[in-house]
Structure 1
Amino acid sequence: MPLHPSRGPTDEQFAELVHTAWPTLYRTAVLLVHDHALAEDLVQSALARTYARWSGIRDVGAARGYARRALVTTATSWFRRRSFHGERPTAELPEVATHRDLGGGTATRVDVLAALAQLPPRQRAVVVLRFYDDLSVAETADALGVSTGTVKSQTSAALDKLRVLLGDDVDLGHPAATLPGGTHA
């Protein structure tokens, strides 16, 4: 609901946004950066950017979309930094996926996450927003600040690459193939 033009949203409304949007933003961030700690940092950075603009937001209902766009643009800027792609110290060695369950035409969660991590940043963002966050082509274009044609071409290229990475047994164009979280590709 739009607010009175002379007043911005309250801190209580921002706290409510954080409370309700955090789980979705965090899941999206994990799929974008493929690291839980970085995902938490990404969500915090996106919410900090949202709060910095909070007094100028006129429609609290649109704030969740603003936060999602801040998340994606922050992730994009991180992808551009060279240090993001380098080695990072961790407390534990990552597990290597050695199994696949392709009998029913679906890849395991680990396989899909590993394949997503191999996509270029924009393709990964398009796949996550379109199929995991269930955004339309137009909503994805708006979140990424690109045209709908770019979303369509990036989606096609990403799905082609995922088919190569996951094998021909996985039909990413059919509801039998699911991304982590239960959403269909």
Structure 2
Amino acid sequence: MSFTEYVLTRGPALVRLARLLVDDAHRAEDLVQEVMARAYPRWSRIVRADQPDLYVRRMLINLNASWWRQRSSREMPADLRADTLASVEDSSAGAAERLVLWERVRLLPPQQRAVIALRYYEDLDDSRISEILGCSRTSVRTHAMRALAAMRVQLSEPEEARS
């Protein structure tokens, strides 16, 4: 598979995954663009390993973690969630529930957020997630368990307590 073919077929999915990891559409696009720029010179080696998705997803998660550590990446755009929630009121109740749920995912630590996004959005099993994150399957299950427990607590709290 050529680099161009890979970007055309997998690029949108990578942007969606990055969007779940960073909760900002513009930063997600920047993150994927940076990963693709770093992958391009190594593409022949990446393809020879016969698992380009694994390698590129790992690059995406690692670069996100390094961006998170940088001071400049902590700048946050104006909060647009109120506008998003207002537009969702016109759509189905299921869409509104999903938006609230992903709001809770956004509050998780980066590693837990990555596990949740890879497991429930990318529909990957623990073995594949552990390969991408470079940790054991037990760690993946632990991150998922802690993330789900934290989200249950968040969802059970009254709205006033969260504000």
Smaller-chain TM-score bracket: 0.7 to 0.9
Deviation at 1:57, TM superposition (A): 2.9
The 3-state SS of whatever aligns with 2:81 is: coil
Partner of 1:38: 27
Q: Which residue of 116, 124, 130 corresponds with 1:141?
A: 130
With over 3 angstroms needed to count, the CA separation of the structure-2 counterparts of 1:58 and 1:38, relative to structure 1, is closer
Q: Which residue of 59, 63, 68 corresponds with 1:74?
A: 63
| TM-score normalised by L of structure 1 | 0.72
Given that 1:17 and 1:64 are in contact with CA atoms closer than 8 Å, whether structure 2 keeps it comes out as no
Q: CA RMSD in A?
A: 2.5
Partner of 2:72: 83
Given that 1:34 and 1:113 are in contact with CA atoms closer than 8 Å, whether structure 2 keeps it comes out as no
1:153-178 per-residue CA deviation (whole Å, 9 max, x = no partner) reads 1110000011112238xxxxxxxxxx
| TM-score normalised by L of structure 2 | 0.81
Aligned length: 151
The 3-state SS of whatever aligns with 1:20 is: helix
Q: Percent identity?
A: 38
With over 3 angstroms needed to count, the CA separation of the structure-2 counterparts of 1:105 and 1:43, relative to structure 1, is closer
Instruction: Show structure 1 runs of 5+ residues with no match.
Output: 1-8, 169-185
Partner of 1:54: 43
Partner of 2:100: 111
Partner of 2:156: 167
1:95-136 per-residue CA deviation (whole Å, 9 max, x = no partner) reads 324899xxx999612212211110000000010011111111
Greater CA radius of gyration, 1 or 2? 1
Q: Which residue of 75, 83, 95 corresponds with 2:81?
A: 95
**Cα separation, 1, equivalents of 2:56 and 2:28:** 14
